[in-house]
């Protein structure tokens, strides 16, 4: 603990196609990130704050996965983020990693369980800090998990939605996208404690959508990584075969990420069916807050807790309540605290986040 953790780094600078792929995969219809008519006078797009999640191996959780546990399984328990500045097109993003701490405790779902944390700092080619991340990995023995869950309802049956429900889903997604184009962003003077934000729907999720999400993480692209030479616990599945054919080292086909698109692999991790990546839900929440704040706002910090998996076939409803509004000492903005929930169609909250957003006090005239 407290030691640097190595791994792969992105070999290439961030491209506009990387951003477009990311926005598409995260189902984010904010036109500021892709609509040609929204380019600035300099020809640049506003990049989404969530893009930083695509810029590290295993979306930044690797420093929380150090040390081998024979027969072990792993899930992402949560992420905390402090945002410095946006990733710009053309940035070369480097990750600086460190193992932080761990504890062992007994859990209902898997008996003795390791909760391990690790830190990742993202810097650009000029040494500027883009963001800092603290991830929590939940590590347990697969055998214990299987024993603990054999008598429970396996939840493997996909939910069934009527044609009317599917139409309602589509209309709700369109309403959210339309509001992003037509509704002016808020100012702090109009915000009060107890206010609720407009709801956002993502899904229903499918094998296609989970695959699209996973492939937008830049570490999944063949040849896109270079080893930084710093010591770490090796995680590549079938590394000898992957040196000949990289498909054998592709986590979506073989290894930890297979559970996102294959229910048999998901069952090995105690999941009833294929499940979405926690990092994707984290991106949904960051995008939701940033879209609401608008270009003049800024998501400064978030702490995200993954309580249960987002499963294939489910819909995800994202909603938020304002719990605090505090004017900054500088007098030029206010900090707004949001509690954001992601819940499925049955109302079960699978992810909860506490997000701090900076908003201007009043509307600024266009420049």
- What is the CATH number for 286? 3.10.129.10
b/e burial code for range 116-132 (CB count within 10 A of at least 16 → b): bbbbbbbbbeeeeebbb
Give mean pLDDT, residues 151-180: 85
What pLDDT, on the 0 to 100 scale, is given for residue 148?
46
Domain-located, residue 357: no
What pLDDT, on the 0 to 100 scale, is given for residue 147?
55
The span from the first CA to the last CA of the chain, in angstroms, equals: 49
Segments forming the whole domain that contains residue 116:
4-157+206-303
Report yes or no: 359 and 190 within 8 Å, Cβ to Cβ.
Answer: no
Domain-located, residue 285: yes
The Cα–Cα gap between 39 and 36 comes to 6
Domain-located, residue 146: yes
Domain-located, residue 190: no
Tokens of 59: 């979306």
Domain-located, residue 335: no
- Residues 6 or more apart whose CB falls under 8 angstroms from that of 152 comprise none
Domain-located, residue 182: no
Domain-located, residue 112: yes
Residue whose pair of structure tokens reads 């859990």 in the numeric block:
107
The Cα–Cα gap between 24 and 28 comes to 6
Provide, rounded to the nearest whole percent, the portion of the chain with pLDDT above 90: 54
If one counts the domains in the chain, the total is 1
The better pLDDT of the pair 30, 248 is held by: 30
Is cis: bond before 308, omega within 30 of 0?
Answer: no
The better pLDDT of the pair 193, 225 is held by: 193
- 117 has pLDDT over 90: yes
- 149 has pLDDT over 50: no
The better pLDDT of the pair 236, 85 is held by: 85
Angle at 302 between CA 301 and CA 306, to 5 degrees: 165
- Quick: pLDDT tens for 276-319: 888 899 999 999 999 999 988 999 999 999 988 889 999 999 99
What value does the CA radius of gyration of the chain take, rounded to a whole number of Å?
A: 20
Helix extents (H) in 150-225: 163-182, 207-215
Domain-located, residue 101: yes
Burial class (CB in 10 A: 0-12, 13-18, 19+), 103: exposed
- Quick: pLDDT tens for 256-281: 777 788 777 777 777 788 888 888 99
């Amino acid at each position: 603990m407290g030691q640097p953790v190595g791994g792969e780094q992105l070999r290439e600078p961030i491209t506009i196609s990387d951003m477009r792929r990311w926005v598409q995969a995260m189902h984010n219809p904010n036109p500021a990130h892709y609509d040609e008519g929204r380019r600035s006078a300099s020809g640049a797009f506003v990049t989404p704050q969530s893009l930083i999640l695509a810029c590290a191996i295993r979306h930044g959780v690797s420093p929380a996965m150090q040390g081998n546990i024979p027969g072990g399984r792993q899930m992402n328990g949560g992420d905390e983020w402090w945002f410095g500045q946006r990733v710009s097109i053309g940035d070369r993003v480097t990750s600086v990693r460190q193992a932080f701490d761990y504890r062992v405790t007994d859990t209902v779902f898997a008996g003795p369980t390791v909760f391990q944390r690790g830190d990742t700092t993202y810097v650009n080619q000029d040494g500027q800090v883009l963001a800092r991340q603290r991830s929590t990995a939940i590590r347990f023995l697969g055998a214990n998990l299987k024993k603990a869950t054999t008598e429970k309802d396996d939840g493997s049956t996909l939910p069934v939605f009527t044609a009317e429900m599917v139409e309602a889903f589509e209309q709700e997604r369109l309403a959210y996208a339309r509001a992003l184009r037509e509704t002016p962003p808020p100012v702090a003077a109009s915000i009060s404690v107890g206010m609720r934000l407009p709801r956002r729907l993502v899904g229903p999720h499918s094998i296609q959508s989970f695959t699209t999400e996973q492939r937008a993480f830049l570490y999944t692209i063949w040849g896109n990584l270079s080893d930084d030479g710093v010591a770490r616990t090796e995680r590549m599945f079938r590394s000898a075969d992957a040196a000949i054919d990289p498909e054998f080292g592709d986590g979506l086909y073989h290894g930890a990420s297979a559970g996102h698109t294959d229910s048999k692999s998901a069952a090995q991790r105690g999941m009833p069916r294929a499940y979405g990546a926690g990092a994707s839900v984290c991106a949904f929440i960051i995008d939701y807050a940033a879209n609401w704040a608008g270009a003049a706002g800024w998501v400064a910090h978030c702490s995200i807790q993954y309580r249960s998996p987002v499963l294939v076939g489910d819909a995800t409803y994202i909603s938020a309540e304002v719990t605090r509004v505090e004017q900054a000492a500088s007098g030029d903005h206010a900090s707004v605290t949001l509690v954001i929930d992601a819940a499925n169609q049955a109302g079960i909250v699978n992810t909860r986040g506490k997000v701090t957003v900076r908003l201007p006090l009043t509307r600024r005239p266009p420049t």
